[in-house]
Amino acid sequence: MSDAREAAVPEQDQVRIFDTTLRDGEQSPGISLNTAEKVEIAHQLARLGVDVIEAGFPITSPGDFEAVQAISRQVEGPVICGLARTHKADIDAAWNAIKDSPRPRIHTFISTSDIHIEHQLQTTRDDVKGEAKAAVALARSYTEDVEFSPMDATRADVEFTAEVCAIAVAEGATTVNIPDTVGYTTPEEYTAYLRRLYELVPGLGGVTLSVHCHDDLGLAVSNSYTGVLAGARQVECAINGIGERAGNCSLEEIVMLLRTRRDRHGLDTAVDTRELARTSRMVSRLTGYSVPPNKAVVGRNAFAHESGIHQDGVLKERSTYEIMDATEVGLDSNAIVLGKHSGRHALKDALEQLGFKVEGEALRTAFKRFKEIADKKKQVTALDLEAIVSDEMRERSEAYNLAWFEVEAGSRREPLATVCVTLPSGEQSTAKSSGDGPVDAIFGAIRQAVGSDAELRRYEVEAVTEGTDALGEVTVVLRANGRLASGQGVSTDILEASARGYVRALSNALEGTAIREAEEATADAAVERTPGP
């Protein structure tokens, strides 16, 4: 097995990890992260040790610009990257958002496939070459670190794509990314494509070649790995593989593939793999995208053994059926850290060990919530603390907040819920509703209290830890105000967790509406909603 603590890999053998969770990942349907949540994730990505954080697409909205700017100012370590089309306004916005970072990067892109050039861009190949040249030159005038992507490259003519890449390199691009934008290519095709690019663009050997693969055919990790073997030294990926449509290459999977099979290829990353599970849980909680139990590396069943033969083998020698150690990816973090009588100082110390810096009013609020949980649970674990802190952080930023609720229910009567919600104005609104069950009644009362006709699209309940006193984590996905929005709630009481999750989903829908209105007000700056590589 590999050792997560082994010496740093030599630079020539290091594959850079470009994390796009906050840009491509955040474009997934139903995800609506606010600035505070994005900054929290970015800090965790820095602890994880990623090389580049693609913090967002600044031109798309004031909210995205604000988040990218906040990350560039607050997060140290990784390169902070802003995405931009080849439009001058995009590149100016990206630079203004990232310029305060000690290590800023502008990532600009334009399509080279004929299907995109004809139907989406409605332009010509010559115009694409001209735009790429001007965009890279402008970006290079702002920063020495410039990345260029020929979008939909794997469905494009390789000779034309090579022309555009050569122009980008000549203008000063330091990274050239070859995206499989719609997850169409196969490993064999991707290898041949990249090798041909190296032949056609001599200057490609002097810059970093990057790969960005989508998972529409389930090949994102395979294609990314193939790209690395073909010479790429940067992989663009996302935590839990989230992203447009079927998602991106999963960061935890490509990292552990490189780490575990270093004997085969001699390559590795600078990622601290012991932070993988914690990062996965944080992103899952804040996005509302749950991790499937059979997910490789970080899924609940990743190191579980049901078969008697497997159990027997693992008990005798773990390597009989485990190619990785659970501790390598941080799945050993469920240790008991605090008890009912632990004080504020002990809580602060435990949170700092988990990477959370909580002080002042935030610490007082977290301690109050901890005491409430500790009164209901015999022991509070690291996983519980992670859930509590994430939950409290979301509550401080909500448009709507759950003030209180009551439910009357039984096997011989229809459930009746009374709910009080604090509105954005600060006023409180109370409403009653019956329903098919207590959860349905609560949701109906919340809708009446805020005056929403939201439609429930998904409702999931999962235990944070084991046992009858475990924290319950509820994920709610709604369609409200013309968009999908998700929210999560955490409590030892599933009804309370459900109410919190529903209120937060409504808040995210409301925030998304405000962002959309701001985008429409600045439509001239972002006429096309091009999703990016």
- Residue owning tokens 């090949």: 219
Instruction: List Cα–Cα distances, 360 to 71, 344, 357, 380, in angstroms.
Output: 22, 11, 10, 22
* Range 396-519: architecture per CATH: 2-Layer Sandwich (3.30)
DSSP 330: T
Q: 325: which residues sit within 8 A by CB, 6+ positions away?
A: 1, 318
Number of helices and strands in the chain (H, E): 17, 16
Q: Which of 21, 9, 33, 24 is nearest to 515 (CA)?
A: 33
User: What is 23-55 written as a DSSP string?
Assistant: TTGGGSTT----HHHHHHHHHHHHHHT-SEEEE
3-state secondary structure of 128: helix
Q: Which of 56, 500, 49, 70 is nearest to 278 (CA)?
A: 49
Q: From CA 322, how far away is CA 401, in angstroms rounded?
A: 45
Three-state SS across 192-243?
Answer: HHHHHHHHHCHHHHHCEEEEEEECCCCCHHHHHHHHHHCCCCEEEEEHHHCC
Q: Which of 303, 285, 347 is nearest to 1 (CA)?
A: 303
Spatial contact of 197 and 165, defined as CB atoms under 8 Å apart:
yes
H or E, element range at 477 = strand 472-480
Q: Where are the beta strands (DSSP E) in 115-190?
A: 146-151, 175-180
The DSSP bridge pattern shows strands 234-237 and 208-213 to be parallel
Q: How many C-beta atoms surround the C-beta of residue 47 within 10 A?
A: 16
Q: From CA 411, how far away is CA 304, in angstroms rounded?
A: 37
The pair of structure tokens assigned to 509 is 């829908």
User: Cα–Cα–Cα angle for 461, 64, 118, nearest 5°?
Assistant: 100
How would you label 102-112 residue by residue, b for 16+ Cβ within 10 Å and e otherwise?
Answer: ebbbbbbbbbb
Q: Where are the beta strands (DSSP E) in 167-288?
A: 175-180, 208-213, 234-237
Domain segments of the chain: what residues? 13-266, 336-391, 396-519
- Intrachain domains 13-266 and 396-519 with the same fold: no
Q: Which of 149, 138, 18 is nearest to 80 (CA)?
A: 18
pLDDT digit string, tens, across residues 258-270 = 999 999 999 999 9
Fold of 13-266: TIM Barrel (3.20.20)
Phi/psi for 27 (5° steps) reads -80, 0
3-state secondary structure of 474: strand
Q: Is 221 exposed, middle or buried (0-12, 13-18, 19+ CB in 10 A)?
A: buried
pLDDT tens sequence for the chain (533 residues): 444 434 466 777 899 999 999 999 988 887 878 898 899 999 999 999 999 999 999 999 998 999 999 999 999 999 999 999 999 999 999 999 999 999 999 999 999 999 999 999 999 999 999 999 999 999 999 999 999 999 999 999 999 999 999 999 999 999 999 999 999 999 999 999 999 999 999 999 999 999 999 999 999 999 999 999 999 999 999 999 999 999 999 999 999 999 999 999 999 999 999 999 999 999 998 888 888 889 999 988 877 655 554 455 545 666 676 777 888 888 765 565 677 778 888 888 888 877 777 788 878 888 888 888 878 776 787 778 877 777 766 665 568 999 999 999 998 889 999 999 999 999 999 999 999 999 999 999 999 999 999 999 999 998 887 777 778 889 999 998 788 888 889 888 999 999 999 999 998 888 765 555 554 554 444 444 457 88
Q: How many C-beta atoms surround the C-beta of residue 463 within 10 A?
A: 14
Q: From CA 57, how far away is CA 211, in angstroms rounded?
A: 19
Query: What single-letter amino acid sits at 142?
Result: Y
The pair of structure tokens assigned to 238 is 């996302």
Q: From CA 520, how far away is CA 527, in angstroms rounded?
A: 9
DSSP 119: I
